[in-house]
Amino acid sequence: MNKTIIKSAICVIALTMLALGIHSCTKEKNTSPSSTSSSSSSSSSSSSSSSSSSSSSGSSYSCSPYYGPNDCADAGYVPVSTTACCPSSSPYHCGTKCYSTCAAASKAGCSSPSYYGGASSGSSSSSSSSSSSTSSTSSTSSTSSTSSTSSTSSTSSTSSASVEVMFWTNTSSYGYIKVYINGSYVGTIASWYSSAPSCGSNGCVTRTITSSSNTWYAQQDGGSGYWSGSFTAEPGCNKILLY
């Protein structure tokens, strides 16, 4: 009887434990973690090659001639403006420097470098002046205005073609003498003559004058010599002696 009870109790306990074991397993069941598929994303880097294309365009350079008598003090030099002289081997002028070619002077930063174009020619300058005035007057609608402008231009061109002034000296004691007309530097006297030379003579300062009334002054280069005066331009060669 007791054995039967004990067996029954053991069975109950076993069943109970079995029941509890199944419940426990059901509660603590670890759901297998969801496998996360790691997709390896490959980033494709596209390298963009930047090509710098340099287009070489041929450049043209323009230089302007300066016309006037060669009044430079030093031998082998030519005038390139009213205030500057350059060696004949480097006759192109830009700023304060001289260059051997027009391209070199232009590359130095000047839009239109100057160079010596030879002695001034009154006929050629008056011709260009006359032609330019003719073209400008032809566009004028008024006939009387055109006629008046044309005659004025003709008069001034005739005047500028025939009126010159020359500064010279008859002594060597002053050395170089700088000459200014109407406040502007026009050249340097570098030679002296015992008697009055002709207009355009070497070492004198000769300029074509278009205005009738003019003032001038001259200064000894590196010295105290000073001259000044005024003159009325007359047809032909007007000579002014500094002594």
Confidence grade of residue 135 (pLDDT, cut at 50, 70, 90): very low
For residue range 28-46, list pLDDT tens digits in order: 444 444 443 343 333 333 3
| Alpha-carbon span 68 to 74, nearest angstrom | 16
Looking at residue 215, its amino acid is T
Confidence grade of residue 166 (pLDDT, cut at 50, 70, 90): very high
Confidence grade of residue 242 (pLDDT, cut at 50, 70, 90): very high
Q: What pTM value is reported for the model?
A: 0.36
Lowest mean pLDDT among 53-57, 161-165, 207-211: 53-57
| Alpha-carbon span 176 to 142, nearest angstrom | 52
| Alpha-carbon span 98 to 113, nearest angstrom | 10
- Higher per-residue confidence, 156 vs 18: 18
Summarize the confidence of residues 87-102 as an average pLDDT. Answer: 87
From 230, 168, 232, select the one nearest 200 (Cα to Cα): 168
Q: Are 231 and 179 in contact (CB under 8 A)?
A: no
What are the distances in angstroms from CA 205 to CA 19, 41, 80, 82, 191? 135, 88, 15, 11, 10
Asked if residue 71 has pLDDT above 70, the reply is: yes
Helix axes 143-162, 122-138, angle to 10 degrees: 170
For residue range 2-31, list pLDDT tens digits in order: 666 777 777 677 666 655 544 443 444 444
| Alpha-carbon span 91 to 70, nearest angstrom | 13
How long, in residues, is the chain? 243
> What would the DSSP string read from start to end of 202-240?
TTSEEEE--SSEEEEEEEETTS--EEEEEEE--SEEEEE
Instruction: Report the pLDDT value the prediction gives residue 14, as an integer from 0 to 100.
Output: 63
Instruction: Report the pLDDT value the prediction gives residue 154, as an integer from 0 to 100.
Output: 36
Instruction: Report the pLDDT value the prediction gives residue 160, as an integer from 0 to 100.
Output: 42
- Name the maximum alpha-carbon separation found in the chain: 175
Summarize the confidence of residues 85-93 as an average pLDDT. Answer: 88
CA 178 to chain centre: 29
Q: 240: which 2 tokens?
A: 């002014």
Residue with tokens 């002054």, as numbered in its chain: 217
Please report which residue ranges of the chain form alpha helices under DSSP H.
2-27, 102-107, 122-138, 143-162
| Alpha-carbon span 68 to 65, nearest angstrom | 10
Instruction: Report the pLDDT value the prediction gives residue 33, as an integer from 0 to 100.
Output: 42
Instruction: Report the pLDDT value the prediction gives residue 170, as an integer from 0 to 100.
Output: 96
From 173, 222, 208, 86, select the one nearest 94 (Cα to Cα): 86
For residue range 204-235, list pLDDT tens digits in order: 999 998 888 999 999 999 999 999 999 998 89
Radius of gyration for the chain, computed over Cα atoms and rounded to the nearest angstrom: 50
- Higher per-residue confidence, 131 vs 203: 203
What contacts 173, CB < 8 A, 6 or more positions away?
none
